[in-house]
């Protein structure tokens, strides 16, 4: 059995930046265990598998795996898969249109292509679910999980909390970029206090406007085989929703430029947006550019 794949760097406009992604474009017939084994073999933050859609009006079914587990939704796999399929032009004998619609465990994900002239340069997704805010997490738990002091965590705007737009993350604001740079994941603390069934990972952020950047972020998910993620679309999508929900305006469009992956040497730029109407966050979007890297064939 031969499986075709492409790899792309997502949330960047240059090679060797952003978040690497492998996309298996003809995954029909693969068992879940095979997909998990392939994702472990690639050993990237995520690997996406493209299958025929169940509804012929949709573009494809997409399944997403980290090296250790399947995810119901994730940001950079959707952005990168849309980019790959648009460049291919057809999938399972059908033309790839714009917008694209992916069937996923968390629901339908709508994607619009970003173009430079006539060339596909990236994509922008709408989250499959509206914002949900879960319980608060104690500052000392967050501090232990990422080797910082509890006093480094800023709680004036919100307590560390779980938020989701299809997949849940702990979101915690820090007081300084130096604290953000010093953070390191402690898998033992995650396993004890932030198990995988409670949250996918921990996203730390600092509000620091600099060079057209609004927020600097890092995300750790060691229990999913991702010690640190260069760019986390789903987590930052939830973050822009949380920040919009905290604003006093009842009607609002909040747009943020988020930098991530700097400490890893994989600088990423995510463009996030939230729509708020009558006091309720109604839509969440995240987008960015992609660069093609490799293509090949898996022999099974």
Residues in the chain: 300
Report the alpha-carbon angle 258-17-146, nearest 5: 60
Judge whether residue 136 has pLDDT over 90: yes
Task: Tell me, yes or no, whether 100 and 175 share the same domain.
Answer: no
How sure is the predictor about 210, in pLDDT bands with cuts at 50, 70 and 90? Answer: confident
The three-state secondary structure class of 260 is: strand
Identify the pLDDT of residue 7.
98
Task: Tell me, yes or no, whether 15 and 78 share the same domain.
Answer: yes
Using CA atoms, how far apart are residues 141 and 151, in angstroms rounded to an integer? 12
Nearest-CA neighbor of 214 among 232, 235, 234, 239? 239
Q: Which position has the token pair 């794949």?
A: 5
Task: Tell me, yes or no, whether 143 and 112 share the same domain.
Answer: no
Using CA atoms, how far apart are residues 146 and 141, in angstroms rounded to an integer? 9
Strand partners, 145: none
pTM given for the model: 0.97
Looking at the 3D structure of the chain, how many domains does it have?
2
Token pair, residue 226, equals: 């991702």
Task: Tell me, yes or no, whether 72 and 172 share the same domain.
Answer: no
Task: Tell me, yes or no, whether 112 and 18 share the same domain.
Answer: yes
Choice among 28, 46, 61, 173 that is catalytic: 46
> Residue 13 sits in a domain of what CATH number?
3.10.310.10
Judge whether residue 211 has pLDDT over 90: no
Residue 271 C-beta-side C-alpha neighbours within 13 Å: 12
pLDDT in tens, 59-100: 999 999 999 999 999 999 999 999 999 999 999 999 999 999
Task: Tell me, yes or no, whether 19 and 142 share the same domain.
Answer: no
Task: Tell me, yes or no, whether 61 and 154 share the same domain.
Answer: no
How sure is the predictor about 274, in pLDDT bands with cuts at 50, 70 and 90? Answer: very high
What is the helix (H) or strand (E) element at residue 2, kind and residue range?
Answer: strand 2-10
From the CA atom positions of the chain, what is the Rg in Å? 18
What is the helix (H) or strand (E) element at residue 141, kind and residue range?
Answer: helix 139-146
Phi, psi of 113 (to 5 degrees): -80, 145
Contact 199, 41 (CB under 8 A): no
Q: Which position has the token pair 């709408």?
A: 126
Q: What is the separation of C-alpha 28 from the centre of its chain, rounded to a whole number of angstroms?
A: 24
Task: Tell me, yes or no, whether 106 and 18 share the same domain.
Answer: yes
How sure is the predictor about 182, in pLDDT bands with cuts at 50, 70 and 90? Answer: very high
Q: Which domain holds residue 39?
A: 2-127+289-299
Phi, psi of 292 (to 5 degrees): -70, 140
Q: Which position has the token pair 């796999």?
A: 77
Using CA atoms, how far apart are residues 100 and 27, in angstroms rounded to an integer? 18
Identify the pLDDT of residue 76.
98
Using CA atoms, how far apart are residues 120 and 84, in angstroms rounded to an integer? 9
Task: Tell me, yes or no, whether 187 and 207 share the same domain.
Answer: yes
Task: Tell me, yes or no, whether 122 and 182 share the same domain.
Answer: no
Task: Tell me, yes or no, whether 144 and 120 share the same domain.
Answer: no
Among this protein's residues, is 46 annotated catalytic? yes
Judge whether residue 237 has pLDDT over 90: yes
Contact 22, 44 (CB under 8 A): yes
Task: Tell me, yes or no, whether 53 and 82 share the same domain.
Answer: yes
């Amino acid at each position: 059995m031969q499986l075709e794949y492409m790899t792309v760097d997502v949330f960047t406009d240059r090679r060797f930046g952003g978040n690497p992604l492998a996309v298996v474009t003809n995954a029909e017939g693969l068992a879940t265990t095979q997909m998990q084994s392939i994702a472990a073999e690639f050993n990237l933050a995520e690997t996406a598998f493209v299958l025929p859609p169940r509804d012929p009006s949709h573009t494809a079914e997409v399944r997403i795996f980290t090296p250790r587990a399947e995810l119901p939704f994730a940001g950079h796999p959707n952005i990168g898969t849309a980019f790959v399929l648009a460049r291919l032009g057809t999938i399972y004998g059908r033309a790839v249109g714009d917008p694209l619609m992916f069937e996923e465990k968390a629901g339908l994900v709508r994607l619009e292509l970003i173009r430079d002239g006539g060339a596909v340069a990236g994509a922008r997704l709408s989250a499959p679910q509206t914002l949900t805010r879960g319980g608060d997490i104690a500052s000392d738990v967050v501090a232990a999980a990422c080797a910082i002091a509890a006093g480094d965590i800023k709680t004036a705007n919100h307590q560390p909390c779980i938020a989701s737009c299809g997949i849940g993350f702990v979101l915690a604001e820090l007081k300084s970029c130096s604290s953000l740079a010093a953070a390191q994941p402690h898998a033992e603390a995650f396993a004890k206090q932030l198990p995988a069934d409670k949250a996918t990972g921990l996203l730390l952020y600092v509000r620091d406007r600099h060079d057209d950047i609004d927020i600097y972020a890092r995300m750790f998910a060691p229990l999913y085989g991702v010690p640190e993620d260069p760019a986390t679309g789903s987590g930052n999508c939830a973050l822009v929703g949380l920040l919009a929900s905290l604003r006093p305006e009842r009607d609002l469009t909040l747009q943020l430029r988020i930098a991530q992956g700097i400490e890893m040497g994989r600088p990423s730029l995510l463009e996030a947006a939230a729509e708020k109407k009558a006091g309720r966050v109604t839509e969440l979007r995240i987008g960015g550019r992609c660069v093609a890297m490799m293509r090949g064939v898996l022999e099974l």
